[in-house]
Amino acid sequence: MWFRSIFFRTLRSYRIAILGWGVGMGLVVLQPLAAATTLVGTAAGRAALTELVGAFSWNAAPIAVDTAAGYATWKIGVFILMMAIWPLLAGSRMLRGEEERGSLDVLLSTPRRRVRVAVEKLVAMGTALLAMGLLIGLVIFVGSRPFNPGFGLGDALLFGLDLALVCAVFGALALLISQFTLDRRRAAGWTGGLLLVLIVVDSVHRLFPGTEWFSRISPVYYYNLSKPLVTSYGSNPGGMLVLLALSLVLGGTAIWLFARRDVGGAVPLPAWLRLPRRAAPQRESLPEGDWSLRGVYARGLATIAVPTFWWTVGIAGTAAFMVIAVKQVEHTLSGIYSATSASFIKTLVEKVGGGDIQTNATLLSAMFLLLPVLLMAFAVTQVSGWSGDEEEGRLELVLSTPQSRLRVLLGRFGALATATVAIGVLTLVASATTAAAVGLKLDGRNLAAATLGIIPMGLLIAAIGYLASGWLRAAVDTGLVSFLLAIWFLVSFVGPELQWPDAALRLSAFYYYGTPLLNGLQLTSVLVLLAVGALALAAGSWRFTRKDIAR
């Protein structure tokens, strides 16, 4: 049955992603539900939590946070949107990936129209997302019964549906952008950068009142209109319909463009978006002397330059926005100083108001946990490019030149490592500059540790991806690495509040990142990350030098 149609064949290839992301994201929601049982157990605790959580509204609107379901909905906030990584990658390679490796030509030679092929693939991705949403809802409902959270099966399923719809928007957006690019990596990079920007756009109206009109341009805003787990708030059918309409419009436009362009070609951008081109002299019409053709490393840098730029804008911009958000928290906490009776909040306000470096670092540290996730997501998209080049035959021409396989692999990894370091350094520059501009006092060394400390995290996930590519196809490799990232995040997100043993927490790479804004970067932890990454890269290199290409 699975090979009788394009729809079923595509859906079959998503089976591991459906199971992994569905169960994994469901467990991410269960963790704060379990922790909230003790946090909201007393009247004093609920009152203090309500006051304090309101200061962190950048993450999500604090709705009914004095209940287990309300606290869980607020706690997962923007972090649950890491699930959008999967449709982002799937949408960018859905058509463009097959064009790159030439398999789409064979598929279109059968008696099937272009539109039908594209529609079946897009519907398969949407079905996979709905299946993930269904699994998320079932895991939340079944796992939350011991906590008596106050919501039913229908509410849990609506939560999964809302998440699936917003992810569908970014999958359709990636498919649309891939019509304007000649490779799927660039489409994934653009979409990833837009995901970060749109998350920030949504949070603006919660930090700066009166700017809700601006946040409405983000699909994340419409996702946040529904909070099905909070029964007193409920779902917003209008918001869900907007997400559905956006995904249909973006996907439909992508299919319309695909049906009208050459296979292997790209839709030209509007004139106002094109960069001006100078006519090259005849002797320079061919790029024999181009710097990017002088070696694998240089070519790798040129290939990832554009996605690196946009991911840098997204990650460094997010860090700068977080610094501004902490400054805004100062004003928020000052406003509740006289209204609260909780002594620890008064102490916190006094410290923040006085520019206490440790307190500012405490507030910012909770937000900076997102930075290594974003950099590792960037590495995942680039790993997809390496494994895709091998699977689609582009490495065969490179390996026909007098260069060893080891040199080719290390050259490509070196280009990715350079981009990773550049993102970390520029994130430090953006954070420090913004902190100085808004007057937020932070320890300079710890800030450097927090921003530069994300570099080993990115290198680690990249090395593991290169290792896995020695045995797995591009789609499976990318799915496995992104799922590993989700599992690591789950362990670090769930473990501490459920009091898991230290041995279990050490299985996550985020354990070794720690809280550098508060405690600095631990040399031992950095060495562990670098050592594991080096071992993974060494094993991946050994495998690559001894295996048949694309097998």
Of 493, 370, 508, 507, the residue nearest 30 (C-alpha): 493
User: How many other C-beta atoms are found inside a 10 Å radius of the C-beta of residue 3?
Assistant: 8
Bridge partners, 474 (sequence order): none
* Contact yes or no for 226/158 (Cβ under 8 A): yes
User: How many other C-beta atoms are found inside a 10 Å radius of the C-beta of residue 535?
Assistant: 13
Q: What's residue 402's pLDDT? A: 75
Residues 6+ apart with CB under 8 A from 33: 68, 69, 72, 140, 143, 144, 147, 149
What are the structure tokens assigned to 475, written together?
Answer: 């789609």
The three-class DSSP label of residue 12 is: helix
Q: What's residue 542's pLDDT? A: 92
What are the structure tokens assigned to 478, written together?
Answer: 């990318």
Q: What DSSP string describes 312-339?
A: HHHHHHHHHHHHHHHHHHHHHHHHHTTT
Classify the C-alpha dihedral 261-262-264-266 as positive or negative. negative
Q: What's residue 37's pLDDT? A: 65
What are the structure tokens assigned to 161, written together?
Answer: 């549906």
Max CA pair span of the chain: 79
Q: What pLDDT digit, counting tens, does each position of 434-460 carry?
A: 988 888 888 888 889 989 999 999 999
Of 436, 107, 67, the residue nearest 229 (C-alpha): 67
User: How many other C-beta atoms are found inside a 10 Å radius of the C-beta of residue 7?
Assistant: 18
- The Cα–Cα gap between 373 and 385 comes to 19
Residue 156 Cα distances to 142, 231, 352, angstroms? 10, 10, 38
- The Cα–Cα gap between 151 and 392 comes to 48
What number of CA atoms fall less than 13 Å from residue 441's CA on the CB side? 10
Evaluate if pTM is beyond 0.95.
no
User: How many other C-beta atoms are found inside a 10 Å radius of the C-beta of residue 440?
Assistant: 22
Low-confidence ranges of the chain (pLDDT < 70): 1-3, 35, 37-59, 271-294, 329-360, 363, 366, 392-393, 473-479, 493-495, 497-498, 550-551
Bridge partners, 234 (sequence order): 227
Under DSSP, the state recorded for 279 is P
Q: For residue 475, give the amino acid letter.
A: A
Domain map (residue ranges) of the chain: 1-26+82-264
Q: Using DSSP, how many helices (H) and how many strands (E) does the chain show?
A: 26, 0
- Phi and psi at residue 450, to the nearest 5°: -70, -35
Look-up of token digits 């290939």: 303
Q: What pLDDT digit, counting tens, does each position of 253-280 carry?
A: 999 999 888 888 888 877 655 555 554 4
Element (H, E) at 409: helix 405-438
The three-class DSSP label of residue 227 is: strand
